[in-house]
Amino acid sequence: HANFVNNYHKFALHTDLAKAYESFYHTLNFGAEYLLPGYRKGNLDDEFIYDKDLNEYENFLAQDQSKEEVSGYLTQYFFNGSGRKVVKHSISQGYYTKDDEYSNLKNAIYLYPFENFSVYNKLEYSHKDRELKKVQNGLYYTHDLFWINMLHTMKKSDSLAKNSATKDSYFTSSAGVKLPHQYSLIGGWQYDLERSYTKSWRVGVLHQRKCWNYGLIYQHDVEPTTTTNGSASTKKSGIYFTINFYPMGGLHYDFSQSSTASSSSK
């Protein structure tokens, strides 16, 4: 398990504007934030976290909040004549005061062509490297009997080694089928497009209550590594018991075992 403590202070000042037009409604929220880092100890190894339906997302808790930063942001919504949300757009830009440099520019667009269907695009642009550091495209569909979520993520990580592989590209999908008595059968799959292997898959059962749920999940993860004897892969399989209290968060208990398989390099 990982021990992680992160304390920081965030001060925000924002305002809202709204205007009705003949065929649509527009709202605008913009403001500024000041982040003052505090005490930080430990690290988070988990690359992904899960929402109440066990959809997989990148772990926002592991994001770097150790630098003093001033940032500005804007978020706007468009609603049609009947009041249904059709577009959401957000953009933000930060500045590290002590490092005298800009943080990544972040932009996200969500489209809602139908009430139960949405598509989105997220990107991050590095002023320092003058390139896109992350691009993510996804879609989500929900129905009375099932739901499905698919996304593709491309990201580049900083590396001091010029010839090292720093690009990640992977496809993630998850789906669920609603069963009687507030149970759901869920599954997920993640494929690494850059290295052509199945990164993880999982299947399990969830039970939904009014403001919380619990589930039993079987998951298999594969992570390639490089050793002095060649290439190797670490495989981790096990059963996870999860409890989620939303919007507060949840607990995941891991009953898993790891093994390493090696193959000689050529």
Q: Model pTM? A: 0.80
Amino acid at residue number 41 = K
For the chain, domain boundaries: 1-42+67-103, 133-266
**Residues 213, 52: contact at Cβ < 8 Å?**
yes
CA distances from 33 to 52, 67, 73, 77, 205 (A): 28, 13, 8, 20, 40
- DSSP per-residue codes, 164-207: S--EEEEEEEEEEEEEGGGEEEEEEEEEETTTTEEEEEEEEEEE
- Digitized pLDDT (tens) for each residue of the chain, 266 residues in all: 556 677 888 899 999 999 999 999 999 999 999 999 877 776 665 555 565 555 655 655 555 667 899 999 999 999 999 999 999 999 999 999 999 999 999 999 999 999 999 999 999 999 999 999 999 999 999 999 999 999 999 998 765 445 454 788 999 999 999 999 999 999 999 999 988 899 999 999 999 887 888 889 999 888 876 665 656 678 888 888 888 777 666 666 666 666 655 554 44
